Amino acid sequence: MPKKKSLDKMQGKMRGGHYSESPAEILAKINQSLGFDRKLYAEDIKGSKAHAKMLARQKIISEKDCSAILSGLDKIKKEIESGGFNFRDELEDIHMNIENRLGEIIGAAAGKLRTARSRNDQVATDFKLWVRSALKKLDKNLAGLQKNILARAGEHAATIMPGFTHLQPAQPVTLGHHLLAYFEMFSRDRSRIKDALVRMNESPLGSAALAGTSFPIDRDFTAKELGFDRPMANSLDAVSDRDFALEYLALGSICAMHLSRMAEEIIIWSSPQFGFIKLSEKFTTGSSIMPQKRNPDAAELVRGKTGRIYGALVSLLTTMKALPLAYSKDMQEDKEPVFLADATLELCVLAMSGMIADFTADKKKMLESASLGFLTATDLADWLVKNLGLPFREAHHITGKIVALAEKKNCRLDEISLKEMQKIAPKISAEIFKVLSMENSVRSRNSYGGTSPEGVRKAIIQAKKT
């Protein structure tokens, strides 16, 4: 019975003097968010300390009370990080758990921390601080992945492989060039992170419930204290805004798509039918029934987990799509999808970084594959344009006839005799055979952004500077 009275007392504080009855058990259950928002404990304490300092600076609370609050919050942080904090579901969320514990430690002064602040601006501030940190962590992990890509691209600047369109052999490229394509994708991901960090770096703290406060607070001080560039300009927007979380999920979804595409290529390339690369036992698994199997599970899971991140974005977009200003309890649903996406994305980036460092390339198999499918046909057509002055469309037609002949004879283009080619285009000379080799083909693609080994090495130097 004493426990029930204690619970009623705590819930009464949260619900206010207007309520005389305890909430229904199911309401208490659906209302509590401690199970997931306890992740915000460090941000909550950081925001509360900034708020307390500002209140004292503005002489809204005494220096003595401020000192007690700061000391109590430091103690709570140590308790949580050491595992000694008693989390209580009946207190709904991390914010009330910390506030309640602060009261146990320092007494009545704890209640003054609530001055000029609402849980609405408190949670928006905490969540924004957490997302900001998550974005910086993602940027760091992507930088690590890019370093691994650059290292492998340097090793394989001249490793010839088939390039594909429609997953059909198209033109010879280098493995280094192919890997650098993903470096560029992840560079764009990182630029989106930087853009998002600039946009979100405004502080909601001090907006109170929705309309601001009558206390003489200093929002510029708390913004600076928390590392924000400035306070948010509109109190209604400040407590209603979850654009920062949506941007994280949106850029995270694009990044996950890039990871998934790379994973798909690793899966294809490591299959026996391609045999371009081999992953070690660190990133593959066996079969419970087929002893010969080497399954690229790490890559498949990166590909599969992409759906979780997309789902998180759609979930939060759906939650926010019809909410009037300012705060609605629906917005409690903002955190779980972001936490899930963040954990998933971190796992996928680190797994991909490991696979890129791990794979072994079969240069011989790649070159053999590039020798199939008449990949130097475009080089032949280009030679006809450059040396015989033919319009490209006519050169394309002549090349098509030579390819058809090679298909009929079941041979490579460079295995067709000069005499046979001259029956199709009389002015072709023996010089044509210089452009039909794989090495000359990739070497000739020296336009900016092209696949030539020299171009790849230059791109790596520039990428390292960037």
- Contacts of residue 318, Cβ cutoff 8 Å, sequence gap at least 6: none
> How far is residue 387 from each of residues 14, 395, 426, 435, 436, measured CA to CA in Å?
84, 11, 13, 12, 15
Q: Residue 285: phi, psi to the nearest 5?
A: -130, 165
Annotation marks residue 287 as catalytic: yes
Separation between Cα atoms, residue 257 and residue 259, nearest integer Å: 5
Positive or negative: CA dihedral 265, 269, 274, 276: positive
Answer for the pair 128, 231: CB distance below 8 angstroms, yes or no. no
| CA 452, 453, 458, 463 torsion-angle sign | positive
Among 133, 287, 328, 429, the one annotated catalytic: 287
Q: Residue ranges of the alpha helices (H) in 207-242?
A: 219-225, 235-240
Query: Please, which residues bridge with residue 174 across strands?
Result: 160
Q: Which of these is catalytic: 18, 82, 166, 447?
A: 166
User: Are residues 353 and 258 in contact, defined by beta-carbon separation less than 8 angstroms?
Assistant: no
Which helix H or strand E contains 170, and what residues bound it?
A: strand 168-174
Scan for tokens 């146990």, then name that residue: 104
Report the Cα 40 to chain-centroid distance in Å.
Answer: 20
Return d(Cα 223, Cα 221) in angstroms, integer.
5
| DSSP, res 22 | P
What is the Rg, in whole angstroms, of the alpha carbon atoms belonging to the chain? Answer: 31
Enzyme catalytic residues? 166, 287
